[in-house]
Structure 1
């Protein structure tokens, strides 16, 4: 996608994350997420029979992008 093209519709969280990363990489951009008592059950694999790890996030996650030399 070029700068002048409108973005296509995003339908999933992974697509959103990939799209943000692609748009911001090389622009010295920073994405900051702040969480307050967020709880997530993270699956061990795809499928109904997956085990889940329970994660609790309370704090800040910062993702910084930069160009490679």
Structure 2
């Protein structure tokens, strides 16, 4: 089994998600209703948290302009 590298930053997470979805016509839709999310400032010990409150729909679409 291949070893999986740990994602340690938000940009790495976004790049990994984009790499998985690009060129596949993928669409991810999230529907939030009075949802609270506490986003850590860093991976690891003792991060600070940003409070995000969501109510509505978030759509993420990918498109590969190279094809």
TM more than 0.5: yes
The one-character-per-residue Cα deviations of 1:16-66 (angstroms, maximum 9, x if unpaired) are x83x861x4213332211111111111111233211111111111111112
Cα separation, 2, equivalents of 1:63 and 1:21: 13
TM-score by length of 2: 0.58
RMSD: 2.4
- Write the distance in 1 (CA, Å) between the matches of 2:26 and 2:46: 38
Task: Name 1:58's counterpart in structure 2.
Answer: 55
The structure 1 segments of at least 4 consecutive aligned residues displaced by more than 3 Å after TM superposition are: none
- Structure 2, unaligned stretches of length 5 or more? 1-12
Greater Cα radius of gyration, structure 1 or 2: 1
CA distance in 2, matches of 1:52, 1:29: 30
- Determine if the alignment matches structure 1 residue 35 to structure 2 residue 41: no
Q: How many residues are treated as equivalent by the alignment?
A: 52
| Match in the other structure for 2:10 | none
